[in-house]
Amino acid sequence: MKNKGLVSILALVAVAIVVTIFALRSERARGAVSSTINAPTRRMAIPVVATQAKLGDLQRYLSAIGTVTSIATVTVQSRVAGQIMAVNFREGQIVKEGQLLVQIDPRPYQVQLEQARGQLAHDTAMLSNDTVNLERDRILYGQSVIARQTLDTQEAAVRQDRGTLLTDKANVDNAKLQLVYSRITAPIGGRIGLRLVDPGNIIQANSTQGIAVITQLQPITVVFSIPEDNLELVLAAMRAGTVPAEAYDRSFHSQLASGSLLTMDNQIDTTTGTVKLKADFSNQEQTLFPNQFVNVRMLAQTLHDQVLIPLAAVQRSSLGTFVYVVKPDQTVELQKIQEGHTEGETAAVQSGLAAGETVVTDGVDRLQQGSLVTVQPQASRPPLAVNAAQ
């Protein structure tokens, strides 16, 4: 019995020793695995893109959709009736002011001119004859040969002849004018539209149909509206001098023309809370076309000595607005800032950041306070987009 008890005790001791050895080995194995997993985490640096905050000027722009409007649009009409003998323009042609467009048959008006000249010559002779008779009657009246009434009648005839002569001269001038009107010229310079009449047709004076439409293209204007809240900003810019304006296509990718703000309307539209503005463009390249919709970007204000950073560096959370600043030891620090105005992909910082500090612009989603980072070369960025009015 004693031997059996001793054997049982020895068996229990052996089992305990085996269990202890196995537990120790398992613990060391878990520790080794844990060290293997955690060691790279502690040493791994997160790749980010960063840039330095710079001190510079921020230009604030107001943007709106505008309509290209011609300064002058004229429907060419005839002032006289007649047959169209020739059309001296091509549809869509750029014409100059005073250029001959249409020739109406001038022969009827030449005949009228000759008739008026003939009547003028006849009445001139009548005035000359009555003037001679008047001088003769004055002599006879002085000799008491004729009565006073005869002299008065002759004097009235001379005055009547002079009045008739004035009418004749006016008729000659009118006939000349009608002859001039038979040559229809361009009242303004610009692009002429589609022809509305053909040679050989009889045209009436002041026909509502017209002959063609001329639209002035150089210079040209763009009318657009801005919110009334920006009115003071625009007025201040106008008082300071010329306000630059740019016209872009609908996608805001291509600049079509450069110009300046011309004027603004004298009242605010109460239904929309906006005020109309008009910008002037020289349109030398003729890239602006009447009734075309364009995007207008107008420089309203320039803020000087601003701390500027890419807008991508600005982060927002329940903590407020902040950026990640890269420290000399290659760790990042969460730094709260007060954001100012933004324009395109650039933001101004009013406080919380100094020029020269390096801020993270890409890779911020994996960062936290104290993260170790490695700064990667910054890829080239696309051109700045344009925001709406701030």
pLDDT digit string (tens) for 49-67?
999 999 999 988 999 999 9
Separation CA 257–CA 277 (nearest Å): 17
pLDDT greater than 60 at residue 40: no
The pLDDT assigned to 242 comes to 93
| Token output for 178 | 């009608």
For residue range 247-298, list pLDDT tens digits in order: 999 988 999 999 999 999 999 999 999 999 999 999 999 999 999 999 999 9
How many Å is the maximal CA-CA distance in the chain?
199
Look at strands 373-376 and 320-326 and give their pairing: unpaired
Global pTM reads 0.67
The pLDDT assigned to 386 comes to 38
Token pair 């349109």 in the structure block, residue: 283
How far apart, in Å, are the Cα atoms of 32 and each of 18, 25, 37, 41, 141?
21, 11, 9, 15, 152
